[in-house]
Structure 1
């Protein structure tokens, strides 16, 4: 099968749209449609049902999708293995990062990488950490730099680089700002604004409350820490945020608990051959990790 046709099929399946798949592949929508039609003709089955502006996989499409992903990973893995023989750091690295890590931890690493390896391309994708984990597992991503899962999948190689100390915070005019030293039970009686329920960070927060036998009151949730900062600063509730986000718009609540520690780092699939560009990026990350360990 033509790998370009398979790539168009996988992209359309993941985005649920031919137009969005075309944007991701830097093609026109007719070109994506033509490739998928060619694949359908090749296998003799319809792969998508067109429902309005979206497309949904047929039974044949559902059957083909995991096999198409596996084939593309195998082809990509072979290409990287051959490219690595030259030892030149070229090609395109598909790297995912979360918004917070990408904005507050990764810029210096990316600056060093682009300066040291100008011939290497970078396909940088901003995703929730949980999505990035799955992307590395599925083979869609070669490397991710994100919040690390409490229990990582054994198929992944996971390396901590930084640690975020998370602090309980509220707006300066919130009742908790003048409460003095409090415990989690007192905090839990006030409404909080926290990361989404399925995020690694939310899991760390809930684990801390569970150990104290407390169920927090959650008013609002979002996966974007900068949005949580804004909501806490204007008094919509207390929150838990990394020290890197603290400034004069927030009050650090004196909670009778040590900071929640959140590991950040990189991960890749153990069974995948890394490109020279990925190895070079890991070397830059290791430089940062070693420097942080020494300090």
Structure 2
């Protein structure tokens, strides 16, 4: 058993595809199949069920996957710790950012970081916060700049960077637009346009309404806040949006409830030694106050 066979196994498990795993590792599909077959021979167990084009983990595969992630992460951690001894800020920094953070918070930080550390190659992905969170937890990503989870896994280290105040907004011609005061109960009588269920932001909003024993009247949903903003401006419902997205074509409602704030920040795995590049990027982020 070696790192090449484990990497092939993890890639197939994560993508549920031999061809996608091959593309991810810049190998041929035949090479991926041979590595997985070798690992199955070494373990004397079938790791994947192959039914047509569908690939799924067997019981043995499910048992191996978290251990394979751990082994690969520890080997990468050892390599990174040794590399850090030189003090150089070089190499590849794998990180992800949510769409909102990447558009509205990250550009000046990345511009300054790239100018200061030109030898660092950024492997930057744009993902939903929850996808990036899982990437850090699995060890696929070194850092993620996202909406922080309300109840993070014990293996996740979360550092708040920005406070993001969310405003209750409607279109200028919405029935609630001219009211001097709006209650949460009144909002439940109209369609809400929010991020998908099981997202950190949706969880925050649902918890607020649940504390008041109210049920959201949620309609269409999308995880792209700019798309939600567009749907609100054309009168399809109300939403909670960051202040940075509020323009003259939206009306901020005076709602008689506690303000809604979400934390945006950076996360990394607690058991992972940060590379010099990752550590310097974190140091350049403005600490939330």
TM-score (norm 2): 0.93
Question: Mind listing any 5+ residue stretches in structure 1 that lack a counterpart?
Answer: none
Deviation of 1:251 (Å): 2.2
Q: Which residue of 2 aligns with 1:123?
A: 123
Deviation of 1:266 (Å): 0.8
Q: Which residue of 2 aligns with 1:83?
A: 83
- Correspondences of 1:31-180 after superposition (within 5 Å): 31-180=31-180
In terms of mean alpha carbon deviation, does 102-111 or 172-181 score higher? 172-181
Deviations 1:142-185 (A, max 9, x none): 11111112233333322111111101112223222233321111
Q: Which residue of 1 aligns with 2:257?
A: 257
In terms of mean alpha carbon deviation, does 33-42 or 235-244 score higher? 33-42
Rounded Cα–Cα distance in structure 1 between residues aligned with 2:202 and 2:269: 25
Deviation of 1:221 (Å): 2.0
Rounded Cα–Cα distance in structure 2 between residues aligned with 1:108 and 1:214: 40
Matched, 1:240 2:240: yes
Q: Which residue of 2 aligns with 1:219?
A: 219
SS in 1 for 2:158: strand
Question: Mind listing any 5+ residue stretches in structure 2 that lack a counterpart?
Answer: none
Deviation of 1:270 (Å): 2.0
Deviations 1:226-283 (A, max 9, x none): 2211221222211111111112332222222343111111111222211111111111
Q: Which residue of 2 aligns with 1:13?
A: 13
Structure having the higher helix fraction is 1
Deviations 1:172-203 (A, max 9, x none): 23222233321111111111111122111112
TM-score (norm 1): 0.91
Rounded Cα–Cα distance in structure 2 between residues aligned with 1:230 and 1:24: 35
When residues 203 and 118 of structure 1 are mapped into structure 2, their CA distance, relative to the original with a 3 A threshold, is same
When residues 53 and 233 of structure 1 are mapped into structure 2, their CA distance, relative to the original with a 3 A threshold, is farther
Rounded Cα–Cα distance in structure 2 between residues aligned with 1:145 and 1:218: 27
Deviation of 1:36 (Å): 1.9
When residues 115 and 26 of structure 1 are mapped into structure 2, their CA distance, relative to the original with a 3 A threshold, is farther
Rounded Cα–Cα distance in structure 1 between residues aligned with 2:226 and 2:52: 35
When residues 31 and 245 of structure 1 are mapped into structure 2, their CA distance, relative to the original with a 3 A threshold, is farther
SS in 1 for 2:277: helix
Deviation of 1:33 (Å): 2.4
Deviations 1:90-138 (A, max 9, x none): 1211112211111111111111121111111222122222232232222
Rounded Cα–Cα distance in structure 2 between residues aligned with 1:26 and 1:253: 51
Matched, 1:196 2:200: no
Rounded Cα–Cα distance in structure 2 between residues aligned with 1:191 and 1:132: 29
